[in-house]
Structure 1
């Protein structure tokens, strides 16, 4: 048997695709391994949302070649689609596969394993087309929960984003096929499924036509799925409809955890970003969630330093976020990406200002998270404990995404247990007390 190691950068969608591609290599005799196991094949699944993701790709290639100089190194993912020639020129890279070609790896890879020809092309990446195929993917054995891809691509022309260029137009699996994948996942003993995609609320487009909706998918999963716990990875505020919020509030399968991209709390900057909402709509969505799910966890994506974001406009964002009843932030300093609208927007924000603004929002995020956790002390929840132990503790997340630590018990790993929240630990986790051990 040969060994293959994957290194995945970026989003949950990439993790789902890495896992599916790894399984597709099993008929070639590959077993999945860690980087330090001296693999014969390294596959690096890249992201291109930020400049840091680009730099990480180059660093991982160097590390792979240090571990096994004779290995084959393959690069896939968004960076591979957007800048294939640049990646192909990195020393140590043997093969670069584009957005469609990465799913053809079992057929394309063999000549690169034995170096049967010195004339082999290092680059196999066709241009993004509007009729890209949809490839179902889900992760297994990577984590306690599974990431299930249900949608790919995006039709939104946000000024800062390269994802439509890297992944093509919005397209989806069918509800029937998603249910079939959920049954496959259930057979692996998975307790929680995270639905993921590029623009998941746009689910339902097949062959360029809308035939189903995300609400249809959620309602069908609620009625027919055999796994007890589902989580929505991220959803645009304009696609998080009041109807969907009301339904999720009464769901017995979907947990009260929302991750809703905001990107800016300034309407002027939102217009520069070409977002499809203003901050008043965002306030409405948060208020509706709090009205029907007061203990829900609400996470927010925000970009700092977008061109045109003056100090005054950034303070609008800061004050807006400070006033919102949210639980945590994911903060991204703006990275200029070629072929995006934002390249031509002025004035630019220098790196020092981006860093200062990012620091302010990270501090605010910690305050929001601490306040959210503090509000949960004395409550009880259901925690899915993970395969990890830290100084005698096991960790896991509750349904509303509270990170909980409890005394380690190997029999409770990968089970959902009722837990009472005692206090906040120095680590920032909530200390939990398992109430009655259940075998689920």
Structure 2
């Protein structure tokens, strides 16, 4: 048996694809291994949302070659599509596969394993405009929850983003095929599925034409799926319709947890970002969710330091978020990416200001999360226990994304249990007790 180790950077979608590609290598005799197991093959699935992700890729390659100098190193993912020549020049890299080619790894790999030719091309990547195929993917055995990809690509050219350049046009699986994958996943004992995609609310485009909608997928899952719990990983506010919010409010399978990208609380900055909504629409979505699901958890993506974001416009964002009934923030300092609209926008925000703004929003996020958790103390929830948190304890997430810690019971791992929330620990975790 040969060993393969995956190192996945970036989003849940990348984790789903890494898991599927790993399974596709099993007929070749590969078993999944950890980095320290001296694998024969390293596959690094890259992200290129920020400069830090690019730097991480280079560092992982160096570490892989330290672990096993004779290993084969393959780079896939968004960075591989955007900067293939740059990656192929990294010492230790044997093969770089673009967005079209990464799912062909089992076919393309054998010569690189056996070093049959010194003249093998390091780079196999086609232009992204030809990337119209859809490849279904899902993760298994990585954790109790499964990430199920239902959509890929994006037709939203936001000013700061390279994802449309890296993943191509929006395209999707069909409702029927997604339901089939869900039953396949259910047979593996999975209790919760997280639906993922680049722009998941744009689900339903096949061969360049819209034939279905994300709401139709949600309705079909509610009616026909045997899995107990579903989460929507992230959805644009303009694609989260009032009709869908009302439906999710009475759903028995979709949990009251939303992650809705905002990026800025200033309408002026939203226009610079080429976002497809203004902050008033965002307020309406948050208000509508809380009206039908008062205990819903709402997470928010925010970018700080986008070109044109003056100190005054940043304070608009801060005050907007401070007054919003949300539960936590994911904060990203703006990172300039080649071939994006934002490169030409002035004025630029220097690194120190971006760091200060990021720190302010991280502190605000901690306050929001703690306030949300405190609002849940004394209530009951359904918690899917995933793993041991520390000796004598285990942890899991409730339906509304409260991380709960209880005394360890091996029989309750990978089960959903009714739990009463007691109080917050000093570390900000919810302490609970499993109800009989």
Q: TM-score range, shorter-chain basis? A: over 0.9
Aligned partners of 1:102 and 1:428: how far apart in 2?
Answer: 40
Structure 2 unmatched ranges of 5 or more: none
Aligned twin of 1:133: 133
Aligned partners of 1:416 and 1:361: how far apart in 2?
Answer: 33
Aligned partners of 2:148 and 2:431: how far apart in 1?
Answer: 30
Aligned partners of 1:315 and 1:134: how far apart in 2?
Answer: 41
Aligned twin of 1:276: 276
Aligned twin of 1:103: 103
Aligned twin of 1:292: 292
Please, what TM-score do these two structures have when normalized by structure 1? Answer: 0.99
1:47-86 matched pairs, under 5 angstroms: 47-86=47-86
Asked if the contact 1:130–1:169 (Cα under 8 Å) also holds between the matched residues in 2, the reply is no
Aligned partners of 1:429 and 1:393: how far apart in 2?
Answer: 12
Aligned partners of 1:173 and 1:129: how far apart in 2?
Answer: 19
Report deviation, 1:348.
0.3
Asked if the contact 1:78–1:163 (Cα under 8 Å) also holds between the matched residues in 2, the reply is yes
Aligned twin of 2:383: 383
Aligned twin of 2:334: 334
Aligned partners of 2:130 and 2:29: how far apart in 1?
Answer: 34
Aligned partners of 1:398 and 1:130: how far apart in 2?
Answer: 42
Aligned twin of 2:368: 368
Say how many residue pairs are matched.
436
Q: What does the per-residue CA deviation read over 1:323-382, in whole Å, with 9 as the maximum and x for residues that have no partner?
A: 000000000000000000000000000000000000000000000000000000000000
Aligned partners of 2:39 and 2:131: how far apart in 1?
Answer: 35
Aligned partners of 1:206 and 1:35: how far apart in 2?
Answer: 38
Aligned partners of 2:76 and 2:426: how far apart in 1?
Answer: 39
Aligned twin of 1:312: 312
Aligned partners of 1:387 and 1:361: how far apart in 2?
Answer: 30
Aligned twin of 2:263: 263
Q: CA RMSD in A?
A: 0.6
Please, what TM-score do these two structures have when normalized by structure 2? Answer: 1.00
- Shift >4 Å, 4+ stretches: none
Report deviation, 1:132.
1.6
Aligned twin of 2:426: 426
Aligned twin of 2:177: 177
Aligned twin of 2:186: 186
Report deviation, 1:130.
5.0
Report deviation, 1:25.
0.3
Report deviation, 1:102.
0.1
SS in structure 1 at match of 2:433: strand
Moved more, 127-136 or 190-199: 127-136
Structure 1 unmatched ranges of 5 or more: none
Asked if the contact 2:131–2:167 (Cα under 8 Å) also holds between the matched residues in 1, the reply is no
Asked if the contact 1:131–1:207 (Cα under 8 Å) also holds between the matched residues in 2, the reply is no
Aligned partners of 1:295 and 1:286: how far apart in 2?
Answer: 12
